[in-house]
C-alpha cells in the first residue's frame, strides 16, 4: 500500500474512534457516558455530609448550613442544631414530678419524668386526663431537639406517655422557633397554647397563641398576644375570676419587675402596671386558688387576691426552678420542674441552688435563624 493511502486509512480510523458514541465507551475506560447517574436521595447530605468542607451532619456539631440541610417542618419550626459539646443550656435539665395536698408543701416523686427537657406547663382536661407540655432537647431523634413536646397521663400523673412533638400550623413566616409553652383549658374544652416566637428581623421575641382539641395539633391564632420593647419571654397566663392575666419576667436577672397584662377574652391583652416583687421573677406557673391566685417561681410562691396586688409567701415550695403547676380535680396539686442532669452536676456543691439565678431557658449556644 502506498504511503499516501496508508495515511488516509489511518486518518479514517482515528476519525471513527473520535466520533464513536459515548455510550459505547466501556466502563472504567477514558470517555464520557450518557447513562444517567443514580438519583441522589434527598437525605444523602444528612447521611454522607455536605461537600465543600461542611461538617458531616452525623457529627455532634453540624456545619453552618445545617439549618438548610435538615428537614424543615414549616414556618416557625426551623430545626435547631445540637449544641457544641460542653456548652451549658436548658438541654442539661431533666424534668421531675412533685405532689402537694395544699399547694404549699410539695414532695418529689422518685425518678426522672422527662430527660433533657425544660419549661413545663401542665393542664387537665374535663375528662381528667393531664397534659404536660415542655421544651424538649433529645439527642435522638435529632429533628425533635429544641421543640415543644407533649406527654399525657390518665392516672393523675403516676404514669405518662412517651413525649411527642406538637405541630403548630399557620405561624406567619416572619416568626421562627416556637418555645416557652403555657397551656390553659378553655370553657368549651379546647386548649389554648401561649408561646414565644422569635422574629426573623431581630426585633425581639413576642407572645403568640394557638388553639387545639387534642393537645398535639395546634392552629395559630392571628395577632400578637403580648409584646414589649426588647422582646418578651416565658409567658404565664391564668384565669382569675372573669379575666385572663398574663405575666412574664421583665429585664435581666436580678430585676424585680414583671410584665402584667389583662384580657377579657384571652386574646386582646391590655398592659397593666408592672408587678414589682423583691427578688421574685414571675418565671414559672400560676394556679387559681381560693380567694385569688398563687404564682410559683420554684422555691417560693406569691399570692394575689385579684392578680394585681402580690405578696411573697413564707416557706419553700417546689424543689426546682420554673415549674409548671396544675390543681387536679381531686384537689391535689401536681408540679413539674427542672433539675440539672446528674452527668452535668459538679462534684461537691448541690445540683441546684433555688436562691440563685434563674435560667432564661433560651437556646444560647449560637445565633438563632432570622
Please confirm whether the linkage preceding 185 is cis (ω < 30° from 0): no
Q: pLDDT at residue 205 above 70?
A: yes
The reported pTM is 0.74
Neighbours of 140 (CB within 10 A): 7
Quick one: cell of 156? 393523675
Do β-strands 301-304 and 311-312 pair in parallel, antiparallel, or remain unpaired?
antiparallel
In this structure, what DSSP letter does residue 163 have?
P
**Can you give the residue ranges of every domain in the chain?**
94-344
Q: What is the share, in percent, of the chain residues with pLDDT greater than 70?
A: 71
- The residue with greater pLDDT, 9 or 246, is 246
* Topology (CATH) of 94-344: Tachylectin-2; Chain A (2.115.10)
Check residue 370 and give its pLDDT: 32
* Per-residue model confidence as pLDDT tens digits over 304-314: 999 999 999 99
Mean model confidence pLDDT for the chain: 78
User: Furthest-apart CA pair in the chain: how many Å?
Assistant: 119
Nearest to 126 by CA among 196, 35, 190, 183: 190
- The residue with greater pLDDT, 339 or 37, is 339
* Per-residue model confidence as pLDDT tens digits over 56-78: 222 222 333 333 323 334 444 55
* Per-residue model confidence as pLDDT tens digits over 105-133: 999 999 999 999 999 999 999 899 999 99
Quick one: cell of 201? 428581623
Please compute Rg for the chain using Cα positions: 28
| Cβ–Cβ < 8 Å for 201, 151 | no
Amino acid at each position: 500500500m502506498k504511503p499516501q493511502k496508508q495515511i488516509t486509512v489511518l486518518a479514517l480510523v482515528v476519525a471513527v474512534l473520535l466520533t464513536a458514541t459515548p455510550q459505547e465507551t466501556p466502563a472504567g475506560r477514558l470517555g464520557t457516558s450518557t447513562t444517567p447517574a443514580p438519583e441522589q436521595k434527598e437525605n444523602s447530605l444528612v447521611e454522607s455530609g455536605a461537600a465543600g468542607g461542611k461538617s458531616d451532619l452525623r457529627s455532634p456539631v453540624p456545619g453552618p448550613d445545617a439549618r438548610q440541610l435538615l428537614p424543615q417542618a414549616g414556618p416557625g419550626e426551623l430545626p435547631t442544631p445540637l449544641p457544641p459539646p460542653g456548652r451549658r443550656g436548658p438541654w442539661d435539665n431533666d424534668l421531675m414530678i412533685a405532689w402537694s395536698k395544699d399547694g404549699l408543701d410539695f414532695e418529689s416523686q422518685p425518678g426522672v419524668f422527662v430527660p433533657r427537657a425544660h419549661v413545663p406547663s401542665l393542664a387537665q382536661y374535663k375528662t381528667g386526663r393531664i397534659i404536660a407540655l415542655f421544651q424538649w432537647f433529645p439527642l435522638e431523634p435529632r429533628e425533635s431537639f429544641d421543640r415543644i413536646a407533649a406527654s399525657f397521663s390518665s392516672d393523675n400523673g403516676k404514669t405518662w406517655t412517651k413525649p411527642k412533638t406538637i405541630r403548630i400550623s399557620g405561624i406567619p413566616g416572619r416568626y421562627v422557633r416556637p418555645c416557652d409553652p403555657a397551656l390553659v383549658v378553655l370553657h368549651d374544652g379546647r386548649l389554648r397554647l401561649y408561646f414565644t416566637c422569635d422574629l426573623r428581623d431581630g426585633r425581639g421575641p413576642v407572645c403568640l397563641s394557638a388553639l387545639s382539641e387534642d393537645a398535639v395539633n395546634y392552629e395559630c391564632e392571628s395577632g400578637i398576644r403580648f409584646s414589649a420593647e426588647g422582646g418578651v419571654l416565658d409567658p404565664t397566663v391564668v384565669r382569675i375570676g372573669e379575666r385572663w392575666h398574663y405575666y412574664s419576667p421583665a429585664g435581666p436577672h436580678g430585676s424585680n419587675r414583671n410584665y402584667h397584662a389583662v384580657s377579657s377574652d384571652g386574646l386582646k391583652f391590655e398592659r397593666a402596671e408592672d408587678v414589682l416583687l423583691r427578688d421574685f421573677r414571675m418565671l414559672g406557673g400560676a394556679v387559681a386558688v381560693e380567694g385569688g391566685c398563687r404564682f410559683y417561681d420554684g422555691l417560693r410562691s406569691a399570692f394575689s387576691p385579684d392578680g394585681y396586688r402580690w405578696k411573697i409567701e413564707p416557706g419553700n415550695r417546689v424543689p426546682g426552678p420554673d415549674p409548671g403547676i396544675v390543681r387536679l380535680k381531686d384537689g391535689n396539686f401536681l408540679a413539674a420542674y427542672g433539675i440539672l442532669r446528674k452527668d452535668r452536676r459538679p462534684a461537691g456543691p448541690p445540683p441546684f441552688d433555688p436562691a440563685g439565678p434563674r435560667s432564661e431557658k433560651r437556646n444560647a449556644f449560637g445565633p438563632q435563624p432570622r
